Structure 1
Amino acid sequence: MQTPTVSHFQTVKRILRYVKGTLAFGLMFTQPPSFSIVGYSDADWARCIETRRSTYGYSIFLGGNLVSWSAKKQPTVSRSSCESEYRAMANVAAEIVWITHLLRELHALPTDPPTLLCDNRSALFLSQNPVAHKRAKHIDLDYHFIRELVSSGKISTKYVLTKLQVADIFTKSLPRPQFEFFRTMLRLGPPPFRLREDISTSKDI
């Protein structure tokens, strides 16, 4: 914002063109046959050229419907891709815990523990094996609570292929086919009918 260049203006124009072409898009919600909490976590290591901080993103689904998502720059610099992914998983786990507490108060908590999906095997190993923590003492202790959640059975972590890692859409630029595929996975698209047509139909009824 302080010293914009031509490339910045071109990027903004590209964003505005996309927004103009997707004004009718919105989140679609359906009644699922069964409820389950599934979270996708991803981080792009040292993406920022100036600060070398990583960008992380996540999406959380309840019964296949997107209920929470975010994309943020991590507050500290990570020394490896494993560390940036692990920190991202910890933040997503905190959001999942908040959602489970809310569902418990509403008496709608699913019986199966939430699942957190990540495409970084090293970060998964770190969350599932306490021995690995000896090699990660430089990571803040606050982030190791995800290991306690896994060991207590309150959350399970699993590997997901990068081509199915929907959180990628929040952390990096993607080829158009992959972007549109992830957009569909997020259940983001045009409505099945026009609002004006729906209103006219309701009047006839």
Structure 2
Amino acid sequence: MSHEMDDRRIICDASRFQEPYWRHSVMSKKQKLNSRSSTEAKLIAVDDVVTMMLWTKVFMEWQGYLIKKNFLYQDNKSAILLEENGPKSVGKRSRAINIRYFFITDQVEKGNVKIKYCPTGNMIADFMTKPLQGEKFCKFRDWILGPQE
């Protein structure tokens, strides 16, 4: 999910998992540049996250662990199309997106990262980055910490 601030820069959340150890991490940070759409904002955020994912994968493998799958969960279907297909998916509204944000496409093609759609309501990153209440808070709390009695 993205949040606009007064300077029109976006704060993006990211959620990722690494199998088989189910290492999960959440990231939320203000972007260094303005974006024209939520899709472009997601591409910028994913570019940062994938770099961190690849470094973590290499680090874990140096420690003797085998990371079978690297999942990045995304709630923006337009961004997923661009991330998986690169410039081939560029339409009228996304032509201005800088080519450097297609680094993710190369990593998907190499099999280093798998992008999965996750509906906004199920984004576990929300638990760490937004004030949640009621049922949604309990759902994510139980998912992270285990069911509360």
Alpha-carbon offset, residue 121 of structure 1:
0.4
**Match status 1:74 vs 2:23:** no
Taking structure 1 as the reference length, the TM-score comes to: 0.61
Q: Which of these two proteins has the greater Rg computed from alpha carbons?
A: 1
Counterparts of 1:33-112 in structure 2, within 5 Å, are 43-45=1-3, 47-48=4-5, 50-62=6-18, 63-66=21-24, 68-110=25-67, 112=68
Aligned to 1:132: 89
C-alpha distance in structure 2 between counterparts of 1:95 and 1:115, whole Å: 12
Q: State the SS of the aligned residue for 1:129.
A: helix
Counterparts of 1:102-181 in structure 2, within 5 Å, are 102-110=59-67, 112-130=68-86, 131-133=88-90, 135=92, 136-181=94-139
Aligned partners of 1:44 and 1:172 also within 8 Å: no
The superposition leaves residues 81-114 of structure 1 with CA deviations (integer Å, 9 ceiling, x where unpaired) of: 111112222222111101111012112122x331
Structure 2's unaligned 5+ residue stretches are none
Amino acid of the residue matched to residue 155 of structure 1? Answer: V
C-alpha distance in structure 1 between counterparts of 2:146 and 2:45, whole Å: 23
How many residues in Structure 1 have an aligned counterpart in Structure 2? 145
Alpha-carbon offset, residue 180 of structure 1:
3.0
Structure 1's unaligned 5+ residue stretches are 1-42, 191-205
C-alpha distance in structure 2 between counterparts of 1:83 and 1:127, whole Å: 11
Taking structure 2 as the reference length, the TM-score comes to: 0.81
Tell me which stretches of 4 or more aligned residues in structure 1 moved more than 4 Å: none
Give the CA RMSD over aligned residues. 2.6
